[in-house]
Structure 1
Amino acid sequence: MRLEKIKTQGLAHLSYFLSADGEAAVIDPRRDIDIYLDLAREEGSVIKHVFETHRNEDLLSGAPVLKEETGAKVWHGPNPEKPIQYAAETREGDTFEIGGALLKVLETPGHTEDSLSYVLYDKSFEEGPVGVFTGDALFIGDVGRTDFYPDRKREVAGLLYDSLEKLLGLGDQCLVYPAHGAGSVCGSGMADREFSSIGHEKLNNPRLQIGDREAFIDAKVAENHYIPPYFRRMEEGNMEGTEAAPPAPRPASPARLLDPGDAVCLDVRGIFDFAGGHRTGSLCIPDDMLAAFAGWLLPGDKPVLLVARDDDQAVDAATTLQRIGFDNVSGFVSGAMPVAVQNGPLDTLDFVDTETVAARVDNPPAGWTLLDVRAIDEYESGHIKDSKHAYVGKLPDAASDLDPDKPVTTMCGSGARATIAASQLMRKGFSNVDVYIGSMKAWSAAGNAIE
């Protein structure tokens, strides 16, 4: 028996390849399926089943693509908002054999109504399950969010509590295989570790320390989560089924930067490259932050022209975008930005340090705003005096009361999100923007006051 975990960087998505005795199954596959096909060839196994733990919100499922490629049967839980076009329904109590492995279905709603967990048994050993694929019900160090049904907040939080009780009953020896790791938007308190057991989670997972059902519901209802606008498109795509991703984008002439047409110039090189010189009007989202913020900031109806350091970075960025449904990457320009643009529209972005920000806080320049673009929980846990909050994903609308002709300094936890925010403001005509590099980490390290 072989179990392989496949991690999709950026999205912090975890999928699994299970094989035994020439048969294989895939749990929660991503859209680009070559890795599962390669594993099957390596094992000499046939992919017979594809299991989905729930209707994903943050990425496009590869289940319909695997079905088309291999003829495998796709299984999904009951109670989705609409029937899953490419899947058959499975319910609690159903069992599936994959060689010497056995999967038993548990219904574990709460995160979504159709959430399932698949309990893994080794048929050679009868004393309890080996592991459980928990989807977004139970994570390492956290549990699933329950805010997708705002009119039923307490009900769905209670459903998750009951589902977790089912999972805890599988025994302390049972290993936990969730659908996401730390960094995913599907939870905020996940451990920076992707292995655990039911026993370890019972002892250490903060949400599992709440033994009272009503207290658990209260805690879940009080959580703050953001729902990016692309989630709805992912939900629809994962009900209807998506096609294989398009081919990798081709290199474009640097002249495209001079006249990109209606394409959004998306600069993925990194914050320091962007600050040093970028195409005027481009949007900065570093490649390792695309999964978190592209769904907030990119319009779904416009082509994208990537600006990258090299060809590999551009192809990786396009793959990340395709995983969340942005297929219209019209090409990429790579290399040194000043050379690419030459005498064309080139802009820079200034960074300021802690000493400068502290002086501005003590003696604010006329009309100056210190704009904190972190999540609201981060801001409320401690912020700089007189700073204004506006989440980076909701800019510039969240800062619609700011005068684009007045100075703005953006800040976050370190400076990365602040640079993304600054690029958005500059695209909207803000003429005097800089970034507090280091941001809260630097401010705290210097011993400055926090409110």
Structure 2
Amino acid sequence: MLLEKIKTPGLSHLSYLIGSGGEAAVVDPRRDCEIYVEKARSQGLRITYVFETHRNEDLVSGAPVLAAMTGAKVLHGPNPAGAVAYADTARDGDRFGIGQLRIEAIETPGHTDDHLAFAIHDTAYPQGAVGVFTGDALFVGDVGRTDFYPDRKREVAGMLWDSLHRILALGDQAIVYPAHGAGSVCGSGMAEREFSTVGHERRNNPRLQFESREAFVDFKVAENHYQPPYFRLMERLNLEGGEAVPRVMAPEPMTLAALKACGADHVIDVREPMAYASGHLPGSMCLPVGMIPAFAGWFIGEGDSIALVGSDTGQLHGAAEHLSRIALDNIVGGYTGMVPAAAAGTAMSATPMIGTEEVSRRLEGNADNWTLLDVRSIDERKEAAIDGSLHIYAGELAPRWRELDPARHYTLMCASGMRATVAAGWLQSRGFTNIDVYLGSMGAWSASKN
């Protein structure tokens, strides 16, 4: 008997392979899904079912691809928005056998209308569920967001409350298997660990401590979440079925001349922020590999062509994997020669860094034609903000950069300087020339006040 978690870094997506008696099922597979077949076959298992807990917004489902590879049956919840083209509909109480295991569908709407949880029962030990795949309804330390139906805010928040209590009714012994871990855009308060039980969550999860349904609904309605434009692309593909993707490799190598002549819609520098700041190709934007899942979908549109710049092929390969999982994979090539290019005298741009002393001097002196631009989330800003700063979330600079004056001097800040460098790179790629970054940002500012 097997239950294995497969984690997708960056997206903090958790999928699962479960098997018994020569059969196996996959829960919430990602787009690059050879890994499930390889792991199943290594254990002598044949994948017969694919269970989807909901229509994902933050990644392309691999369910249709995996079904084509294995002949497995895909099960998805009832979807008022339209039938999922590649799946059969599972409804409350439906049961599916996998060897000694029985998987039972539980309708748990709220995060999405089609959301299902799947309870795991061991038929040899029938007293209570062994575990439950909770999807995006219940996380470790948090619960799902409910902002995808803005015209029905209170209704869907109330639905999530009801759904959570259906999961809690499975009993404290049940192990919780969520679809995301800490760092996912699908929740903001998840614990760093990825293991828990229903009983532990009942006692410790802050979102399960509300005394009434009404108080829970009030809290959820007041939450602040961001929805990158690529969510709409994910929703569409996860109804229609995304195309298969071959095993992702590093992009085709490019010379500097080829890079300059390729005409890509975006030249994305995936090196670390300080490397980008010290010297980058004019017109390129900063998007470090580890930040691609969170921010690529804000700045890159469906079908946009992409050229990557990295320190080595490993960085380029990692960037290509992240982009593929969110269907932004029109990559024309990759370049890794920044150091030789600089040594050969290639023109470079830089992003100056300034410290707390200079920021304070500018604030106190009411510096002319200068704005301190805070690109943190609204929740971070509510906790602490620097008086006199302007707020635009980093991702929202993609549609809102035209609200800013290219002739004005902007200092970008966030919590540490990472997102600020991404934001600065975007503005520089849009033609802003008088840009710098507050190194250390809010962390350095707070430290200076202690």
* TM-score, normalisation: structure 2: 0.97
Q: 1:115 is matched with which residue? A: 115
Counterpart residue identity of residue 139, structure 1: F
Counterpart residue identity of residue 73, structure 1: K
State the 1:337 CA deviation.
4.2
Deviations 1:146-202 (A, max 9, x none): 110111111111100000010111111111000001111111111111011111111
Separation in 1 of the partners of 2:69 and 2:395?
36
Separation in 1 of the partners of 2:337 and 2:125?
57
Counterpart residue identity of residue 352, structure 2: D
Residue 277 of structure 2, aligned match among 267, 275, 278: 275
State the 1:402 CA deviation.
2.9
Q: 2:148 is matched with which residue? A: 148
Separation in 2 of the partners of 1:111 and 1:260?
42
Q: 1:76 is matched with which residue? A: 76
2:273, 2:418 within 8 Å by CA — same for their partners in 1? yes
State the 1:123 CA deviation.
1.4
Q: 2:55 is matched with which residue? A: 55
Relative to 1, partners in 2 of residues 1:385 and 1:97: Cα closer, same or farther, differing over 3 Å?
same
Q: 2:223 is matched with which residue? A: 223
1:279, 1:346 within 8 Å by CA — same for their partners in 2? yes
Relative to 1, partners in 2 of residues 1:420 and 1:162: Cα closer, same or farther, differing over 3 Å?
same
Q: 1:324 is matched with which residue? A: 326
**Which secondary structure does the structure 1 equivalent of 2:50 belong to?**
strand
Separation in 2 of the partners of 1:298 and 1:156?
30
Q: 2:20 is matched with which residue? A: 20
State the 1:341 CA deviation.
8.7
Separation in 2 of the partners of 1:67 and 1:373?
42
Deviations 1:387-426 (A, max 9, x none): 1000110115435443211211000011010000001111
Residue 300 of structure 1, aligned match among 285, 299, 302: 302
1:257, 1:279 within 8 Å by CA — same for their partners in 2? no
State the 1:382 CA deviation.
0.8
Q: 1:260 is matched with which residue? A: 262
Q: 2:349 is matched with which residue? A: 347
State the 1:37 CA deviation.
1.2
Separation in 2 of the partners of 1:350 and 1:408?
11
Counterpart residue identity of residue 16, structure 2: Y
1:373, 1:421 within 8 Å by CA — same for their partners in 2? yes
Relative to 1, partners in 2 of residues 1:80 and 1:12: Cα closer, same or farther, differing over 3 Å?
farther
1:48, 1:72 within 8 Å by CA — same for their partners in 2? yes
Separation in 2 of the partners of 1:88 and 1:124?
28
- Worse-matched range after superposition: 341-350 or 56-65: 341-350
Relative to 1, partners in 2 of residues 1:340 and 1:99: Cα closer, same or farther, differing over 3 Å?
farther
Separation in 2 of the partners of 1:45 and 1:32?
19
Separation in 1 of the partners of 2:398 and 2:245?
31
Q: 2:359 is matched with which residue? A: 357
1:255, 1:340 within 8 Å by CA — same for their partners in 2? no
Tell me if 1:333 matches 2:335. yes
Q: 1:425 is matched with which residue? A: 427
Query: What's the RMSD between the two structures over aligned residues?
Result: 1.4
Counterpart residue identity of residue 276, structure 1: S
Q: 1:10 is matched with which residue? A: 10
State the 1:300 CA deviation.
2.2
2:310, 2:336 within 8 Å by CA — same for their partners in 1? yes
Q: 1:290 is matched with which residue? A: 292
Separation in 1 of the partners of 2:145 and 2:80?
17
1:76, 1:87 within 8 Å by CA — same for their partners in 2? yes
Separation in 2 of the partners of 1:11 and 1:366?
41
Deviations 1:98-144 (A, max 9, x none): 11111111000000000000001111112211110000000111100
1:409, 1:433 within 8 Å by CA — same for their partners in 2? yes
1:338, 1:346 within 8 Å by CA — same for their partners in 2? no
Separation in 1 of the partners of 2:238 and 2:137?
18
Q: 1:366 is matched with which residue? A: 368
Q: 1:132 is matched with which residue? A: 132
2:256, 2:337 within 8 Å by CA — same for their partners in 1? no
Q: 2:232 is matched with which residue? A: 232
Counterpart residue identity of residue 29, structure 1: P
State the 1:429 CA deviation.
1.7
Counterpart residue identity of residue 432, structure 2: F
2:285, 2:422 within 8 Å by CA — same for their partners in 1? yes
Q: 1:244 is matched with which residue? A: 244
Q: 1:213 is matched with which residue? A: 213
- Worse-matched range after superposition: 95-104 or 241-250: 241-250
Separation in 1 of the partners of 2:124 and 2:436?
63
**Which secondary structure does the structure 2 equivalent of 1:44 belong to?**
coil
Separation in 1 of the partners of 2:190 and 2:310?
31
2:286, 2:425 within 8 Å by CA — same for their partners in 1? yes
**Which secondary structure does the structure 2 equivalent of 1:111 belong to?**
coil
Relative to 1, partners in 2 of residues 1:189 and 1:369: Cα closer, same or farther, differing over 3 Å?
same
Query: Structure 2: any 5+ residue segments left out of the alignment?
Result: none
Tell me if 1:176 matches 2:172. no
Separation in 1 of the partners of 2:342 and 2:263?
17
1:390, 1:399 within 8 Å by CA — same for their partners in 2? no
Equivalent residue runs for 1:435-450 within 5 Å: 435-447=437-449
Deviations 1:211-251 (A, max 9, x none): 20111111100001111000001000000001211453211
1:391, 1:398 within 8 Å by CA — same for their partners in 2? no
Counterpart residue identity of residue 173, structure 1: Q
Equivalent residues, number: 448
1:54, 1:116 within 8 Å by CA — same for their partners in 2? yes
State the 1:77 CA deviation.
0.4
1:255, 1:341 within 8 Å by CA — same for their partners in 2? no
Deviations 1:10-68 (A, max 9, x none): 10100000011211000000000121011112101100000000000100000001011
Tell me if 1:30 matches 2:30. yes
Identity score, percent = 55
- Worse-matched range after superposition: 246-255 or 324-333: 246-255
Q: 1:384 is matched with which residue? A: 386
Counterpart residue identity of residue 435, structure 1: V
Counterpart residue identity of residue 33, structure 1: C
Residue 403 of structure 1, aligned match among 396, 402, 405: 405
